[in-house]
Amino acid sequence: MQNHYKKVLIISDNARIVSEIARINQNKIGEAVHFEYAISPFSDIDHFDSPLLGQVKVLDLCNQTVLTKIIESHDLVASVHSKQIFPPLLLHNLNCINLHPGYNPINRGWYPQVFAIINDLVIGATLHEIDEELDHGSIIDRVKVPKYAHDTSFSLYNRVIEAEISLWEKNISNILCAKYKSFVPEGKGRLYLKKDFNSLLELDLAEEITMQQAIDRLRALTFKGYQNAYFLNKEGEKVFVEITLSPDK
């Protein structure tokens, strides 16, 4: 099959997943397609120092000149854990796709694994076309990921990342040849914003909840390298809390 798209820009703020995708692109597609990689101004470019990625650019999608250059020099743009929202000018002039760490339309938006744990929702990964709503466009492919009682946000997220990488490897050839069939999501689902996550962080020591709810909230907020859940001590200082869980083997 001949590639329909030959100049592809991948915008990401996650060094781990974009490096894996670059490896897949090199091994599966080779030089038949020219891939370029970019990050947002919110990321440290030093984290993206990899021969697979080549010269990584910092692109601000709020800059009109930057958008014009992207449109002139590419025919497909992919968001892979990008912190930037793709503006209408980009969406109306280029085909854009997104790799999302959630099972659309169930958990759209920020930190899907957090809300999947707290609200006992299905979790997975979705590859979809981008429209003007967040994580809303027609679905190219998606897969569910198992969720266990001993999962923290960190362990579940890592499982989702692996599913995303597999989705990319499975679908990228058909996407580049424009041979895939997308479908409209079953409904709107639920969109979770950064403020929804932030509202979970402070623990009210006087709140009456079940032990299940308490454990679920703590494991949903436990992520290696980050201090999320906290309560205030008598002096008004934050005391951070995380949880460790291990199944009986």
Cα–chain-centroid distance for residue 204? 30
Q: 169 in helix, strand or coil?
A: helix
Residue 117 CB-density burial (10 A; 0-12 exposed, 13-18 middle, 19+ buried): buried
pLDDT at 233: 96
CA–CA gap between residue 185 and residue 105 (Å, rounded): 6
Q: Which residues of 152-180 are buried (b: 16+ CB within 10 A; e: fewer)?
A: bbebbbebbbebbbebbbebbbebbeeeb
Active site residue 92: no
Widest pairwise Cα distance in the chain: 67
pLDDT at 55: 92
Q: pLDDT truncated to tens, each residue of the chain (249 aa)?
A: 577 899 999 999 999 999 999 999 999 998 899 999 999 999 999 999 999 999 999 999 999 999 999 999 999 999 999 999 999 999 999 999 999 999 999 999 999 999 999 999 999 999 999 999 889 999 999 999 999 999 999 999 999 999 999 999 999 999 999 999 999 999 989 999 999 999 999 999 999 999 999 999 999 999 999 999 999 999 999 999 999 999 988
Angle at 201 between CA 108 and CA 100, to 5 degrees: 20
Catalytic choice (74, 100, 128, 136): 100
The residues near 218 (Cβ < 8 Å, ≥ 6 apart) are 229, 241, 242, 243
pTM of the full predicted structure?
0.93
Q: Which CATH superfamily is domain 7-192 in?
A: Formyl transferase, N-terminal domain (3.40.50.170)
Cα–chain-centroid distance for residue 175? 19
Show me where the domains of the chain are located. Answer: 7-192, 195-240
Q: Are 34 and 6 in contact (CB under 8 A)?
A: yes
Q: Are 231 and 241 in contact (CB under 8 A)?
A: yes
CA–CA gap between residue 160 and residue 167 (Å, rounded): 10
CA–CA gap between residue 91 and residue 105 (Å, rounded): 20
Token look-up 């929702």 returns: 121
